[in-house]
Amino acid sequence: MKIGAHVSAAGGLFNAPKNAAALNLECFQFFSRSPQGGTVKPLTQEDITAFKTTCEENKFSEYYIHAPYIINLASQLDRTRKGSIEILRKELERGTALGVRAMMFHPGSSKGMDREVALEVVAKGINEILKGYKGTTQLLIEISAGAGEVIGDTFEEVAQILKLVNNDEVGVCFDTAHAFASGYDLRTKEAVEHTMDAFHKTIGKNRLLISHCNDSKVDIGEHKDRHEHIGDGHIGKAGFKAMIESPSFKNVNLILETEPEEIAKDIKTLYTLRDS
Buried b (16+ CB within 10 A) or exposed e, 243-254: bbebebbeebbb
* Confidence label for 40 from pLDDT (cuts 50, 70 and 90): confident
Instruction: Answer yes or no: is pLDDT of 274 > 80.
Output: yes
CA distance 95 to 93: 5
Instruction: Answer yes or no: is pLDDT of 148 > 90.
Output: no
Q: Helix or strand or coil: residue 209?
A: strand
Of the candidates 139, 163, 48, the residue with the CA atom closest to the CA atom of residue 89? 139
Over residues 249-276, mean pLDDT: 95
CA distance 146 to 154: 8
Over residues 73-97, mean pLDDT: 96
Q: Helix or strand or coil: residue 5?
A: strand
Tell me, what's the pLDDT at 2?
A: 98
The CB-side HSE value for 160 (13 A sphere, CA atoms) comes to 16
Over residues 127-152, mean pLDDT: 95
How is the chain split among helix, strand and coil, in percent rounded to 5?
45, 15, 40
CA distance 13 to 41: 11
Task: Say which DSSP state 206 is in.
Answer: G
Tell me, what's the pLDDT at 229?
A: 97
**pLDDT single digits (tens) 180-208:** 999 999 999 999 999 999 999 999 999 99
Write the single-letter amino acid at 92: L
Tell me, what's the pLDDT at 51?
A: 98
CA distance 45 to 217: 42
* Confidence label for 39 from pLDDT (cuts 50, 70 and 90): confident
Q: Quick one: 10 exposed, middle or buried, by C-beta within 10 A (0-12, 13-18, 19+)?
A: exposed
CATH architecture of structural domain 3-275:
Alpha-Beta Barrel (3.20)
Instruction: Answer yes or no: is pLDDT of 38 > 80.
Output: no
Q: What is the dihedral of CA 55, 243, 154, 8, to 10 degrees?
A: -30
Cβ 174 vs Cβ 199: under 8 Å: yes
Tell me, what's the pLDDT at 219?
A: 97
Query: What's the start-to-end Cα distance of the chain, in Å?
Result: 14
Locate all alpha helices (DSSP H) within 131-246, ordered by sequence: 155-164, 176-181, 189-202, 236-245
**pLDDT single digits (tens) 221-240:** 999 999 999 999 999 999 99
Tell me, what's the pLDDT at 220?
A: 97
* Confidence label for 37 from pLDDT (cuts 50, 70 and 90): confident
Q: Return the CA Rg of the chain.
A: 18
